[in-house]
Structure 1
């Protein structure tokens, strides 16, 4: 496996020749995590040539809509100007399912003055990591990503169902950690692991989660931007592999009524750049003040960041009492009922797990937001509440219950906006308002069932 740290364009060119690449997918992750961009013949791709796309391509909603007016256009020109894209050579991967040798490369977005476009998801994560670097700190993260396998569904009015496995039957009960339930989909997972190996993604363990057809994949720990890239690639990979086995893979937060939702739990710690030591542990192995302050930052700012962790109306269906998802910002050691968990670990591996984030969150935005909350805790030396040692579900809701409430909190969080970038928060909240307005135009089956003849 070739190390891509500090991969240069000359090394990229050699890599493309060695793999006989004939086509390149030039990718840009947008606010929803969708891959935008262009496909170029190999001979048209070069560092000097670059690529251009309209500024708004990375700043549209999941429905493809844009605001018609308002603060959005204080950030993005109404003239539909171009941004300049530069390939990040360290992100090059093969597209293992392509018929011809094809590479995929993630690009960063710049304006005409050569500055990073501040509302592009990768730019936001780069900005937050830069703030840590200024303090001599290096964030380390490890995402755990849940998803559902479901039978093909081409009618959005029909509920999703678990897919048929090798036995010819669909799951009808919950099979948490069942090896046999995973083996039902061996041909699919063999393809997924084969694709991941060819793409050199650092996936670790695969388990069956609680829900029928619900799976979880864990990633090895590493640098935030590289891990966000891997989650971005992995989502594309799983969806493609599932389609080839006549099923869908979905990262919706709550795809099936009555089943647990899907999360992206993020383990995080901070290393000192000078010696690599874990900032969360003292020399004697005990927890450091920084460990407490980081938790305190999450507790104070996670509610305001919920629109970034739970970005859609559907996201809030997951965050309900006794559904294996948190409803609070309590913290505890080895306690899965809290929103902020500290796993049992040796001092060198002491870390914090943010269990609030949904699988539907954009990985770049979610990692930037959770790190921003922790950063503010460190800078402001915020002390956490006492550890929760019991069942946190017995307490009150401490998180916003809807996307509308979450957007109001995000708009009012000035300190969080200073870390993430005010222009990003402006664009993001304006886009989410458009999505929320689109959702409110839809009449649900529940409303027809219970209100049609009863009110």
Structure 2
């Protein structure tokens, strides 16, 4: 089912009437990608056409904490002022698992002067897409999102394990692209596809990935903001469906020791906004200079932007040679060992695939990041390195190895600040620094096992 965006509030009211909606989940994605907001009765939603929330609600850490002081409060008002949330009618969808007729609508964040709040994830992606519009270009993206199904686990000290399927057994070996392994979870995936169809999410192919219990869902290509909305809603949908089948779905980058990590690969191309021509290809079908400059921008700026798409300490466990994830930003044609891949395609479908992004990344920030790096390559006309013809895993690491290192690089790269917004970079960096400090207070089992009596 194709999603037909609602264009106005009057159309939204008609849409709600048709579906006899009685409640509205008013959603706003925070920095983590968590759905914040309020649930309003239909009458209240219609009367207000929005709501107010404190500014910091979209700018908190994954633990719900805020910095006590520092540059964060140069952006976030220390008096805890409100922001205005306005519904985007184009995002309205039914909540398919709700008992009573319920809709969900994603909101944008504005200050009291009617200006988009610059540190809200949706605002950041809108900002970057606006820069492309100024160049007469329209980005097109297609995410591939990996995740793990696991048995229920209420004890954070217990390692995760694969769930039991229809056969009564849990996976213990790797089953890449196995149809039978996917069929083990047919009842769950029937619900997921049913939910996605009722929400008109843009999902395409489902496959079993390499890890035990690891799956991948592909999305059809579309505009960045609309697809970021869909990934945001899809994560919520999969977690809900899994719970209803007595299992968990997790988008952690590296949830299981000894198994591959989970990525969010993003395919991207650029269309001429007037002609619809893919500017990555010349008229004769050969790669264009814009294609090469875009790759050059990714290579130049991705290392400094990694904190945006590898946002947690756990994220860096994925980015190693033994996890089927990139370790550098080499580029190549049809080469899955590189960080930047260009799949074999027709000239009209020529695209670049960013393979460094983790499944744990906020989809709005992830798309803003990769488009920002490509944008800088275009405007600065950055030439890429020579194409990697062999195994990129034999080349040195060129990505940050830890969140602390990544945050230092992000703070230094002022070109990214200009494209993504200084307020956003300040808030994001301060929140991630707080999360990193909280993690460093935790003593891991490895430390107790190997250091307790040996040092």
- What TM-score bracket applies, with the shorter chain setting the length? over 0.9
Moved more, 230-239 or 318-327: 318-327
C-alpha deviations, 1:278-327, integer Å up to 9, x for none?
A: 01000000000000000000000000110001000000000001321000
Give the CA deviation at 1:264: 0.1
CA distance in 2, matches of 1:2, 1:323: 35
Count of residues in Structure 1 that have an aligned counterpart in Structure 2: 455
CA distance in 2, matches of 1:5, 1:37: 21
Give unpaired runs (5+ residues) of structure 1: none
Give unpaired runs (5+ residues) of structure 2: none
C-alpha deviations, 1:180-239, integer Å up to 9, x for none?
A: 000000000000000000000010000000000000000000000000000000000000
CA distance in 2, matches of 1:322, 1:449: 23
Give the CA deviation at 1:3: 5.3
Structure 1 segment 207-222 matched on structure 2, within 5 A: 207-222=207-222
Checking the alignment, whether the CA contact within 8 Å between 1:296 and 1:382 is kept in structure 2 is yes
Checking the alignment, whether the CA contact within 8 Å between 2:303 and 2:399 is kept in structure 1 is yes
C-alpha deviations, 1:343-392, integer Å up to 9, x for none?
A: 00000000000000000000000000000000000000000000001000
Structure 1 segment 210-249 matched on structure 2, within 5 A: 210-249=210-249
Checking the alignment, whether the CA contact within 8 Å between 1:47 and 1:87 is kept in structure 2 is no
Checking the alignment, whether the CA contact within 8 Å between 2:260 and 2:322 is kept in structure 1 is no
Checking the alignment, whether the CA contact within 8 Å between 2:2 and 2:202 is kept in structure 1 is no
CA distance in 2, matches of 1:50, 1:212: 43
Checking the alignment, whether the CA contact within 8 Å between 1:9 and 1:47 is kept in structure 2 is no
Q: What TM-score, normalized by structure 2, do the two folds share?
A: 0.99
CA distance in 1, matches of 2:234, 2:273: 29
Could you say which residue in structure 1 is the equivalent of 2:153?
A: 153
Could you say which residue in structure 2 is the equivalent of 1:119?
A: 119
Give the CA deviation at 1:26: 0.1
Q: Secondary structure at the match of 2:323?
A: coil
C-alpha deviations, 1:80-132, integer Å up to 9, x for none?
A: 00000000000001000000000000000000000000000000000000000
Could you say which residue in structure 2 is the equivalent of 1:268?
A: 268
Give the CA deviation at 1:7: 1.4
Could you say which residue in structure 1 is the equivalent of 2:77?
A: 77
Structure 1 segment 161-176 matched on structure 2, within 5 A: 161-176=161-176
Cα 1:319–1:40, aligned 2, differ >3 Å: closer, same or farther?
same
Whether 1:394 and 2:379 are equivalent positions in the alignment is no
Checking the alignment, whether the CA contact within 8 Å between 2:6 and 2:12 is kept in structure 1 is no
Q: Secondary structure at the match of 2:442?
A: coil
CA distance in 2, matches of 1:93, 1:236: 13
Cα 1:47–1:287, aligned 2, differ >3 Å: closer, same or farther?
farther
Could you say which residue in structure 2 is the equivalent of 1:140?
A: 140
Could you say which residue in structure 2 is the equivalent of 1:282?
A: 282
Give the CA deviation at 1:4: 3.4
RMSD in angstroms over aligned alpha carbons?
Answer: 0.8
